[in-house]
Chain A
Amino acid sequence: MTNACNGSHSRLKRAAASEPLADLDDLVDLDQGRLARRVYWDERIYEHELEKIFARSWLFLAHESQLPKAGDYLTTYMAEDNVIVVRQKDGSIKAFLNTCPHRGNKLAFTDAGSARNFVCNYHGWSFGIDGVLRGMAGQELFERSGMVKADHGLHPVAQIATYKGLVFGNLDPDAPSLESYLGDFRYYLDVMLDMDGEGTEFIGGCVKSVIQCNWKVPVENFIGDIYHALWTHDSAARAMLGGPVAEVYKDPDSYHVNFNGHGWEFNLDVVGNAATLGDKELRKYLYGIQPKVAERLGELRSKMIGSISSASVFPNLSFLPGQNTFRVWHPRGPRKIELHTWTIVNRSAPQDIKERWLKGTMMTFSPSGVFEMDDGENFEFSTRTNAGFVTRQQDLYMGLGRGSQLTHTGLPGNVYRNQVNEANHRAFYQRWLDLMRAKDWSEVPQRDTPRLTEADFVHAPAKEAA
């Protein structure tokens, strides 16, 4: 479902890739579970991340439900690159750098809206929603200067593709398809995105905040760190559940799974995450749909729909099943992020359930949320301690769950016993290293072999299954 963007990738110049950093092997030792603190602090590493991770990975841009009609647009970021994402007249979605190619001013100053064209505030250059330069004041003077209007449209995001409602963009025209980038991780994504064939939607708009932390700290937290919840979130759990967080490390039926550096940690208690929203109607809803999800996706995945779990899609998209917070951690230098959060719900859910979820998500995972409050503090100080010149020369431990890999589970991806684990952290850093080392995608090793085919992500229609 890749949409070629404007047919003119020549409008998106890219400098030749710089030489990879020479000391990458000193930063991470995956066998021993060792991570150098410099990855959270070093400006040089950050510059390479912008180039080698963000400017060639598939980054989350929008949910299709945010752009229902032609001309509907939103502005977001691909790392520090500001982009406009806009629905076209033919129903496709395009994205452009949010900057006028004339003198470089920002084009759209809004978070979202609906437009027939984008007009630059500086000199009034006007662009269609397809990115084509339509006109400007004193057009004849430009023509006399030999300027060809057709060559000066907006700079397109090189590739746009969607997976079950999620719109991703890639600034590298040579990047592999979104399908192969997500690979077998789509098996797990379907738990969140395809419970009943009716799809999902974002509700309530975007809540944004700033955290003074390295972008990888929260990604690690969501990719596999249920371990912290027992301690960090004790106060919130007692407030919302009336008791401590479940002793998940004792759960024999809990897992880490990962593929291509994307990771999901989960148990199979169906509603453990949802319970923290403190609204029994949401648990009833999940239990109510679980049998249908089981028919559609199988028993195991039906027990993941709101269970104690968390996930990150490489590099910086995270979400929580059950709590239904969906979020991107946009880097702002090595020591700062801008957090954008949304609430995701099943499109088919009753309106009342959607409203309860919006409220519950905000109550738990927003800047004022009782869970999020404690996370921010941890994220910031896990970064800021590295201001110490000697401190940042020390190593961190990331070896929890070494030797816990399971084979022959029948599940796709790499599977590990016990969700209290750091297997997904290690898989994330393996992918990170692979990209940081590579001059282009042809040098990125395919470590995880997909076993599933496209047909495995097409499920029987809910009505037939029911």
Chain B
Amino acid sequence: MNMADHLQLVPADRDTAYRIEQFLFREARLLDQEQWEAWLALMAEDIHYWMPAIENRRRADRLGAYAPGRGAYFDDNRTDLGRRVARFVQPSAWAEDPPTRHVHVISNIEAYPAEQAGEFVVHSVFVNYRSRGEADNDVLLGRREDLLRAHGDGFLIARRKIVITQSLLMSKNLNTFL
């Protein structure tokens, strides 16, 4: 499921693409509003939520900038995501109180039918802007590759790969999902 495999493919039909777009916008809004449990409910039971750490390696280096089994900010299944949510909602999560203000901007959405009927490979980019307290403002940009699965009237996220531009994360933490 890499990008090249789908470049030749016909995108999902306009109605499906619209619904996928609305789904991703809604997901972003749930994160902005700290509706953690509602966000978690968008994840499939078999979710693999992966955000590798990025290394600076030469183009000729076959190890590449990232790979499975290397360092990762997230390499999560459903249980792991649930634990992160459990921390966010603890009254003693001091670093979240007062709350961080988030905006997740989602754009460049491309949706293609996946091999499995009812599944879609969806590419998107994000800008995450976080503000805490008086003067903590962190910005993070990246590209996502999702596998969405039709579910009832909507979708579930079955895979998500998040590739950010920073190799040295210019922030003290990453207190959200992307």
A190 to chain B, nearest CB (A): 26
A 199-212 binary contact with B (CB < 8 Å = 1; else 0): 00000111111111
Please give the number of chain B residues whose Cβ is less than 8 angstroms from any Cβ of chain A in the complex.
35
How distant is the Cα of A372 from the Cα of B87 in the complex, in angstroms?
12
A 103-140 binary contact with B (CB < 8 Å = 1; else 0): 00000011111100000000000000000000000000
Contact B55 A111 (CB under 8 A): yes
A202 to chain B, nearest CB (A): 10
- Which residue of the partner chain, among A207, A343, A366, A374, contacts B94 with CB atoms under 8 Å? A374
Given contacts A235-B92, A239-B83, A367-B172, contact A362 B58 (CB under 8 A): no
Contact B169 A235 (CB under 8 A): no
Contact B90 A362 (CB under 8 A): no
A 339-383 binary contact with B (CB < 8 Å = 1; else 0): 000110000000000010011001100111010111011011000
Contact B83 A278 (CB under 8 A): yes
- B70 at interface, CB cutoff 8 A: yes
Q: Which 10 A-B pairs have the closest CB atoms?
A: A376-B172, A235-B90, A239-B87, A235-B93, A234-B92, A239-B86, A377-B95, A368-B174, A209-B169, A368-B73
- B71 at interface, CB cutoff 8 A: yes
Given contacts A111-B167, A379-B172, contact A362 B71 (CB under 8 A): yes
B 40-72 binary contact with A (CB < 8 Å = 1; else 0): 000000000001010111100100000001111
Closest to B79 in A: A278
> Chain A residues in contact with chain B, CB under 8 A?
109-114, 204-213, 231-232, 234-236, 238-240, 278, 338, 342-343, 355, 358-359, 362-363, 366-368, 370, 372-374, 376-377, 379-380
Other than the known A235-B90, A368-B73, what 13 A-B pairs have Cβ atoms closer than 8 Å? A113-B57, A205-B70, A207-B169, A209-B169, A209-B172, A231-B92, A231-B94, A235-B92, A358-B69, A368-B175, A372-B173, A373-B87, A373-B95
Contact B69 A204 (CB under 8 A): yes
How distant is the Cα of A368 from the Cα of B55 in the complex, in angstroms?
17
How distant is the Cα of A367 from the Cα of B168 in the complex, in angstroms?
11
Contact B58 A235 (CB under 8 A): no
Given contacts A111-B167, A368-B173, A370-B84, contact A205 B55 (CB under 8 A): yes
Contact B69 A355 (CB under 8 A): yes
Contact B95 A238 (CB under 8 A): no
Contact B87 A204 (CB under 8 A): no
Given contacts A210-B170, A367-B169, contact A240 B83 (CB under 8 A): yes
B 72-86 binary contact with A (CB < 8 Å = 1; else 0): 111110001001101
Contact B87 A235 (CB under 8 A): yes
Contact A110 B58 (CB under 8 A): yes
Max chain A CB contacts within 10 Å: which of B57, B71, B167, B174?
B71
Residues of B within 8 A of A211 (CB): 172
